Structure 1
Amino acid sequence: MRPRPLWLVILAAALPMFMATLDNLVVTSALPVIRTELGASLETLQWVVNAYTLAFATLLLTASGLGDRIGRRRLFVGGIALFTAASAACALATDATALIVARAVQGIGAAAIMPLSLTLLAAAVPPARRALAIGVWGGVAGLGIAVGPLVGGAVVEGLAWEWIFWLNVPVGLVAIPLALAVLRESRGPDRVLDPLGLLLAATGVLAVVFSVVRADAEGWGSVPTIAGLVAGAALLVGFVAWQRRAAAPLLPLRLFRSRGFSAANAAAVAFSFGMFGAVFLLAQFLQVVQGLSPLDAGLRTMPWTLAPMVVAPLAGMLEGRLGTRTLVVSGLVLQAGALAWLAAVTTVDVPYGALVPPFLLAGIGMGLTFAPVATAVLASVPEADHGKASGANSTLREIGIALGVAVMTAVFSANGGYSSGEAFVAGLIPAVQLGAVIVAAGAVAAVFLPGRTRTPAAAPEAERALAA
């Protein structure tokens, strides 16, 4: 196959991933309208969000393992098709139950898209261009997360809630032939399935994530929460034990013997926990306390949320000179400092200008972290294990996000609440401070990443890559 231009390869891998990450948060802005038009209760609205999250997080590792065996591009394209069809079903839903079911199917499709997107991209570009390609890919992923609430608010205010989902359909119809034309098929070394591993991993992650996302409503000390966490932990222990014996394991435990793989995943979990838990609460602060509309709140967070789109590709260019460890440690330190800064300046009537510098600092830190962590994960394992490594990293990040939102919300609820602006800020400050501590712990873990591994010639080559 004739080499494809780098920009086209990145587009083929990143466009479906952007669609999937966008839908992780885009629906949040439409929930009040959906509640009115579909007659949904508050708990039902939570399931509109949680159905997607649970299916997505539960099946990431499973999708990576299946892609290794039946073909990564085949499963990737299948995931795009399923996600596109489910988006149409969401838009056509006439009651809350149909919407929740369609959202769960969307999550299944997204689980096939996210980890395989990175694996296919890494296989499609030469090593000298890989850091730059992953940097741009990371910027696109950050953009999807960033503009989710913004797009949701704009669509709901200008059109109708159904258009949040209709927008995915033309994107999916373009993404499928593009992926088939540009990305080449690849498989992992294993040719047989690990059904017991698939079952243990999926049910274990499902039990843990379900218990975490319901913990705030049920109570962290409640019987359902504790029982779910214990059952999930037991299933995951069983999964680890089985992986030690399986002839073709879903997740070879030897990967964790790599210092780089373990350190990168520890940093990724801390990053996801602290940053996404903080974003969840700070986005509400702008609406609940300062009275902004979802669209206005999204616009004001743009210094934070759009900075990774610019910084991540630059980080890919600089990675050959500075090394992955330097970028990730610096990014996490900047993010921890930004969260501590936000906790220090936030009051009920804090002027927006006081929030812009820490927002921008946090965005720069995210741009320096997301893509280099993905590069470190792949660089620390043999190329044949890229699919498994990407699936493991995606799963751990999603667990980190779920834990971050749940734990930081619990801290918020223990110290404040929604009864007044003062009560909200009283709960927000200790929660964001906890996020800063967790992200700082991730910076400590990132110190154990290997130093530079690329040749000096690789960085200039990467800088010329986009012109190819």
Structure 2
Amino acid sequence: MSQRLEADLVPHERQSWLPMTAIGLGQMIMSFNVASLPVAMGGMIKSFNVPPTTIATGIVAYSMLVAGFVMLGAKLIQRFGVVKIFRLAIIGFCISQTLMTFSPNATIMITAQFLCGASAAVIVPSLVALIAENYHGKQQATAIGALGSARAAAGVLAFVIGGVLGTYIGWRPAFGILVVASAAVYFLSFKLKSVPGRAEVKIDIPSVILAAGSIILLSFGFNNLNAWGLILATSNAPFSLLGMSPALVMLIFGAGLGKAFFTWTARITRNGGTPLLPLEIIASPQERAAVYCMFVVVALEAALNFSVPLYIQIVQGNTPLATAIAMMPFNLTVFFAAMLIIRFYDRFTPRQIGQGSFVLCAVALMWLSWVVRNDWSAVPVLFGLVVFGIGQGALVTLLFNVLVTSSPKELAGDVGSLRGTTNNLAAAVGTSVAGAMMVGLLSVLVLGNLAAHPILPPDALPQLDLSSINFVGNDRLQDFLISTGAPADQVAAALEINTDGRLRALKFGLMIMAALSLIALLPAARLPGLRKGEDIPAEPFGGARDGRSNTARIQQTGV
């Protein structure tokens, strides 16, 4: 019998839930920060006088830093001790939120998100490692579920608090709250079980460079697809390589560095070294399928969380509070689905839950693309958001549980880093692609309608120049068109075209997201096919690592 199985069969004394308060609040401050950015989008655009895509850059900056350096963060907590490094990261997070609250321009705002992302790159793996050290057995399973619920709860609070404060006071106080909250996490951290670091843990610098370089290039590439060109370089591109877009070049080189990272990691493992990311945590097809599915569902969530506030605040000109109200059904549903899905683990396999959840997401997105109009409070739209929230919330908790329960305790920090890398790279890609897709679709639709409109003569097209307009409200667009000297009838026609183009761009974007949900059924089909009661308690959803089937292990151990 393995040491891990023996340890898991020993009854554990029930621990206080006070340490979980620090762990859960640590998750919430990170999620609150990310969720607050779309809500604050309208206020930031006015404060900094920048387009929506610049605010998206702040979101991408945070996600890029977390994804790029979270594996390094996992090794730091193993080398120097999880509690000590966790506290230092919380201090860095507090400083970043102070900078965010008082940022005078967009450059400082993006810098604050970079620092916040660097801090979160350590916090993310710390949370999983802290749960593994402080809780065992059923308490550990409950703690894992609570961590997923904390993420969803932070999203709800960010939309409510950010919406109210953004409407009546301003966008800055929402981030000021995080300064206080991070200070609370720091003091609560003294209730955590202190575990010494392991001096034998080595940090492989080449792996850090390869992983971070790959993720940064991929993030920058996706974030600039629209501005620099998908294939051929545009006039806005800083450079071109044989006429190719820098965004495409970055994506190609980023993918190459990613391949080099896994090749190097395999070599380090064969030579008996300490890899930056132990490949055994993604050794089985089931674990890799969980990672693929997690990437898709988080990217979909990021795309929706960027697209809807973009449309409500910028296109329709509504307040942050209106955004919060419109997104509340989705966020509440994610919160409850993340908590309640564990009740179905005894009845359905992870494969069945995963496939069913992706079908729900696809149906909800197709429904939204059909029923969405200019009023997000319509009952059919709210129904679509609720259905999507059920699928998304169920998947987040399920996939995290698959990864955590399939790896030994000593690799908990590495599982956390894998989760952080996947989630934040997916968030960066989802936000970037959503922005590029919406603007790109808008440009194509508007230019096509302009050319076909009977009121607008061909010589009026260069004068109106709508191709240079990003997602904007009609008031701002009207002021721009009047400044060009265009006649009133042409201005009215252009506004009508732009209004129709924005709505159609959103509809097409939702359909593309629905197609991605259906494609995710392929990896979901490789999730574990055993119900919780059919597997050993120590690894309810994970595959065996010694080459034997779970059934064989159950028969041998008698569990």
TM-score, normalization by structure 1: 0.89
What are the superposed Cα offsets for residues 43-78 of structure 1, whole Å, 9 maximum, x if unpaired?
754544443233222222221222222222322222
Q: Which residue of 1 aligns with 2:126?
A: 116
Identical residues among aligned pairs (%): 22
Q: 1:242 aligns with which of 252, 264, 283?
A: 264
- 1:16-415 equivalent positions in 2, closer than 5 A: 16-38=26-48, 45-185=55-195, 191-221=201-231, 222=233, 223-246=245-268, 247-348=273-374, 352-415=378-441
Q: What is the deviation of 1:115?
A: 3.0
Q: Which residue of 2 aligns with 1:463?
A: none
Q: Looking at CA atoms only, which structure, 1 or 2, has the larger radius of gyration?
A: 2
- Structure 2 vs 1, CA of residues 49 and 156 (structure 1 numbering), >3 Å: closer, same or farther? same
- Could you tell me how far apart the structure 2 residues matched to 1:44 and 1:72 are? 35
Q: What is the deviation of 1:443?
A: 3.2
Q: Which amino acid aligns with 2:254?
A: G
- Could you tell me how far apart the structure 2 residues matched to 1:189 and 1:316 are? 37
What are the superposed Cα offsets for residues 56-111 of structure 1, whole Å, 9 maximum, x if unpaired?
22222221222222222322222111101221122233444433322211111122
What are the superposed Cα offsets for residues 308-334 of structure 1, whole Å, 9 maximum, x if unpaired?
222212122432443433333322221
Q: What is the deviation of 1:151?
A: 2.8
- Structure 2 vs 1, CA of residues 186 and 208 (structure 1 numbering), >3 Å: closer, same or farther? farther
What are the superposed Cα offsets for residues 350-399 of structure 1, whole Å, 9 maximum, x if unpaired?
76111121111111112211111101011222222222122122212222
SS in structure 1 at match of 2:190: helix
SS in structure 2 at match of 1:261: helix
- Structure 2 vs 1, CA of residues 129 and 449 (structure 1 numbering), >3 Å: closer, same or farther? farther
SS in structure 2 at match of 1:301: helix
Q: Does structure 2 conserve the Cα–Cα contact (< 8 Å) formed by 1:134 and 1:316?
A: no
- Structure 2 vs 1, CA of residues 365 and 38 (structure 1 numbering), >3 Å: closer, same or farther? closer
Q: Does structure 2 conserve the Cα–Cα contact (< 8 Å) formed by 1:51 and 1:100?
A: yes
Q: Which amino acid aligns with 1:235?
A: L
SS in structure 2 at match of 1:220: coil
Q: 1:433 aligns with which of 488, 504, 511?
A: 511
Q: What is the deviation of 1:291?
A: 4.3
Q: Which residue of 2 aligns with 1:462?
A: none
TM-score, normalization by structure 2: 0.75
- Could you tell me how far apart the structure 2 residues matched to 1:188 and 1:329 are? 40
Q: Which amino acid aligns with 1:226?
A: L
Q: Which amino acid aligns with 1:442?
A: A
- Could you tell me how far apart the structure 1 residues matched to 2:180 and 2:207 are? 36
SS in structure 2 at match of 1:332: helix
Q: Which amino acid aligns with 1:20?
A: M
Q: Which residue of 2 aligns with 1:5?
A: 16
Q: Which moved more, 1:170-179 or 1:153-162?
A: 153-162
Q: Which moved more, 1:397-406 or 1:187-196?
A: 187-196
- Structure 2 vs 1, CA of residues 44 and 314 (structure 1 numbering), >3 Å: closer, same or farther? closer
Q: Does structure 1 conserve the Cα–Cα contact (< 8 Å) formed by 2:78 and 2:198?
A: yes
What are the superposed Cα offsets for residues 110-159 of structure 1, whole Å, 9 maximum, x if unpaired?
22122321332244222333333222221210222344344323222233
Q: 2:520 aligns with which of 432, 442, 448?
A: 442
- Could you tell me how far apart the structure 2 residues matched to 1:290 and 1:422 are? 12
- Could you tell me how far apart the structure 1 residues matched to 2:196 and 2:335 are? 28
Q: Which residue of 2 aligns with 1:423?
A: 501
Q: Does structure 2 conserve the Cα–Cα contact (< 8 Å) formed by 1:275 and 1:439?
A: no
SS in structure 2 at match of 1:322: coil
Q: Does structure 1 conserve the Cα–Cα contact (< 8 Å) formed by 2:101 and 2:173?
A: yes
- Structure 2 vs 1, CA of residues 37 and 79 (structure 1 numbering), >3 Å: closer, same or farther? same
Structure with greater helix share of residues = 1
Task: Count residues with an aligned counterpart.
Answer: 459
Q: Which moved more, 1:205-214 or 1:417-426?
A: 417-426
- Could you tell me how far apart the structure 2 residues matched to 1:339 and 1:251 are? 35
What are the superposed Cα offsets for residues 142-188 of structure 1, whole Å, 9 maximum, x if unpaired?
22234434432322223333312211122111111212313443768
Which runs of 5 or more residues in structure 1 are unaligned? 460-468
- Structure 2 vs 1, CA of residues 334 and 130 (structure 1 numbering), >3 Å: closer, same or farther? farther
